[in-house]
Amino acid sequence: MAEARIPVRMNRLCCPICSQVLRNPVTVPCGHNFCMRCIQDRWDHEEGSRSPCSCPECGNRFAIRPRLIENTTLADLVRDTPALKRARTWTKTGSPLCGRHNRSLDVYCCTDEKVICQVCASAEHTGHTFGFVSRERRRNQEELENIQMKSQQILQKQEKKQRNLRKEEARNTEDYCEAVLAGVIDSIQRHFMSLKEAIGVQGKATAARVQTSLQTLEVKMNETRRRGAELELNLNLSDPLRPFELTKRAVDELGRQLEALCDKEFATISQTGTCVCGHVEIPSTFSERNTNIALWPLFTIYACGLSLDPTTAHQDLTICVGDKEVRNDKSSTMFHPERFMHRRQVLCREGLQAERCYYEVEVKGDKAEIALAYRGMDRKSRTRVSAFGGNAYSWSLDRSRSYSVSHRGDSIQLTTSPSQHRIGVYLEFKKGALSFYEVSDSMKFLYKVEAEFTEALYPGFWLGEKCCIRICDLRHDRL
């Protein structure tokens, strides 16, 4: 059987304070109904202003704040009322309604930047600046269009800038590649000329030695012919035993002389110059004795171009002459994290890892150190660890009143005293050999280090007071 429907007037179910459907309805002593929260807020306000509590509907005053009684019947009625009539928040024309006062949202509060109804404007936004919603909507739309236009312009500028950067990067890459290739071609030509010169020098030396050996052999052959004539003469003697005795004696002497001649002369010829697999090798005997300047081109074949790295230089050092010279003169360069902090030291940019490398430096001053080090050696410590030769990552030739070689904090004192300003350094990386020379019109061997190198070695220098070190250009410098 269908349930009977009792018509209910909606205004009977609305709170006289908020004009909304009653929420948690309570009844005051005079019989009127309100939302529990609404009447509590109202009476809290009246008590704060020292006014007696009163009924908002009829104005009845109460000497003592009444106890609110929950109206369960009215609460059930509100709950059973169709929800569409309480929850509707839009007008018939499609305009939104205020969720608290069920009024059209047609006022814009410029102060709080929000859309409100007329009741909210008069009750909660007193003293604020108001405007029409439609006008504010148009203004906001215009601002958004302007922002969108500016964003589009910025995007176009960025795209244009990106295209220009790509073109510039392409040009720079092309120029860089051309410069590198030009440098490679120049290096090949320079090494070819040095090799050609070295081969010519060695060819002349070999020819001279062979000519000397041939002349000596010719003398010996003439001596042999003379002795042969003597033998023939002795054969004609009357004593039958005399020829045999003379023959045996002459043959023994000839054998001894020929054996000594072959051992000496052919060993000399075979040792004059060494050409292996298309490249010139420096004989090992040259590494540990005085070397004549005629063999200097053999070293220059392996000459490597070096330049000083200003980012590693101590603040008391000045880099100049195209990063080829360093002086003990306080620099005004900016601080760099790779700088040596407490020692007047500097590294080169280039790490040496080729099979053979050779370079020369010119030292002016009483005290200096010529070193090779791994890139990661300590540069901040105040102890000996940050000094060249004071750790396991560097090897150093110390030049003062005499020479010494340092590694891992241990030094080997050499008997040689400095007599020249130019120092040659010859590195055989794979072989694990590092040799130092004094260079003038001859090459004077100083010391040879043997070690196992595990990574690229960077040439470095320490400078004493009033010291200057220059990296020599072996393509143009001639002793």
Token pair of 373 as six digits: 């080090």
Total-model pTM: 0.44
Tens digits of per-residue pLDDT, 17-48?
Answer: 887 778 888 988 888 888 888 888 888 888 87
Scanning 272-390, the segments in alpha helix (DSSP H) are 296-300
Min mean pLDDT across 18-27, 130-139, 189-198, 442-451 is at 130-139
> Which of the four pLDDT bands, split at 50, 70 and 90, describes residue 241?
low
Asked if the domains 10-80 and 298-471 are classified in one and the same CATH topology, the answer is no
Rounded CA-CA distance 106/133 in Å is 6
> Which of the four pLDDT bands, split at 50, 70 and 90, describes residue 352?
very high
pLDDT of residue 4: 45
Pairing of strands 394-399, 403-407: antiparallel
Min mean pLDDT across 110-114, 155-159, 226-230, 426-430 is at 226-230
Question: Which residues make beta-bridge pairs with 426?
Answer: 358, 435
Token pair of 382 as six digits: 């105040």
In this structure, the number of other CB atoms found within 10 A of the CB of residue 319 comes to: 20
pLDDT of residue 11: 61
Bigger pLDDT: 53 vs 435: 435
Short-list 302, 355, 335, 339, CA closest to 460? 339
Q: Which CATH number fits domain 10-80: 1.20.140.10, 3.30.40.10, 3.40.109.40, 1.10.3720.10?
A: 3.30.40.10
Rounded CA-CA distance 388/469 in Å is 16
> Which of the four pLDDT bands, split at 50, 70 and 90, describes residue 251?
low
- Helix (H/G/I), strand (E/B), else coil: 361: strand
Cβ contact 364:465 at 8 Å: no
Bigger pLDDT: 257 vs 3: 257
CATH code 1.10.3720.10 for 298-471: no
Short-list 419, 397, 422, 417, CA closest to 407? 397
Task: Give how far the C-alpha of residue 354 lies from the chain's centroid of Cα atoms, to the nearest Å.
Answer: 22
340 φ, ψ to 5°? -75, 120
Cβ contact 254:224 at 8 Å: yes
Give the mean pLDDT of 229-246.
62
Q: Where are the domains of the chain?
A: 10-80, 97-128, 138-278, 298-471
